[in-house]
Amino acid sequence: MGTSLRLPREFYDRAVTEVARDLLGCVVRHATPAGVVGVRLSEVEAYAGESDPGSHAFRGRTPRTQVMFGPPGHAYVYFSYGMHWCMNLVCAGEGTASAVLLRAGEVVEGVELARSRRVSAKRDVDLARGPARLTQALGVDRVQNGLDICGAGELEVLRGTAVDDVDVVWGPRVGVAGAGAPTPWRVSLSNDRTVSDYRVGGRRSPGPRKSGRRT
């Protein structure tokens, strides 16, 4: 009953690691003309803003990072690796530029629509397993960048059922170059098959590049 409540702005206006922890189990929901897809978050990652070497905000305010420096409760969506979109939720007070990256989750609403957007996924468990897969399943891209997720718009996050600390795992970041920060920024639900399984070995190697002379 009362469990389907959109998270208020105050929820995001707190320390980024607390917000990250509390987002686990919550449902991100995106409504489009094609239908609605909801994803229950199983893995997120905190980015502490300007003082965080691993954050896009570390270099300061730029056209791209502008949204991160704005008020909490908004979506920061960025383009990566020439083909992927990743979504963050802006946290803490305005100007702090902290945000939580949504890394993985389970599709709990609109599975058929999610499948149509993620044709390459062999199993439903892979539909939103990974930050770029999650946005693809939700139908989120540059259009949603900067959207207020606390208003009455197409994008929202619903409070989930309580998650016990026993089921929460903290770990290091995934796929981030800089940040040798000792702080465990990544949080996930233990024993959840939708948690991403990104391999460090998957990094680009110094092998043959497309360098050489251009054609």
Per CB under 7 A, residues contacting DNA are 45, 47, 54-57, 59, 62-65, 68, 76, 78-84, 86, 88, 99, 101, 118, 120-121, 126, 130-134, 174-178, 196, 198-199, 201-205, 207-211, 214
Specify the residue, 2 or 28, whose C-beta has the smaller distance to DNA: 28
Contact call for residues 45 and 101 (beta carbons, < 8 A): yes
Write down the least CB distance from residue 4 to DNA, Å.
27
Using left for φ > 0, alpha for ψ between -120 and 50, and beta otherwise, residue 195 falls in beta
* Torsion angles phi and psi, residue 15, rounded to 5: -55, 135
Q: How far is CA 18 from CA 11, 22, 45, 163, 187, in A?
A: 9, 6, 11, 13, 10
Q: Residue 10 gets which letter from DSSP?
A: H
Specify the residue, 82 or 180, whose C-beta has the smaller distance to DNA: 82
Write down the least CB distance from residue 190 to DNA, Å.
18
Specify the residue, 33 or 207, whose C-beta has the smaller distance to DNA: 207
Pairing of strands 99-109, 155-158: unpaired
Write down the least CB distance from residue 33 to DNA, Å.
23
> Residue 41 belongs to what H/E stretch?
strand 35-47
Write down the least CB distance from residue 160 to DNA, Å.
21
Write down the least CB distance from residue 166 to DNA, Å.
26
Specify the residue, 170 or 198, whose C-beta has the smaller distance to DNA: 198
Handedness of CA 73, 77, 78, 84 (dihedral sign): positive
Specify the residue, 4 or 62, whose C-beta has the smaller distance to DNA: 62
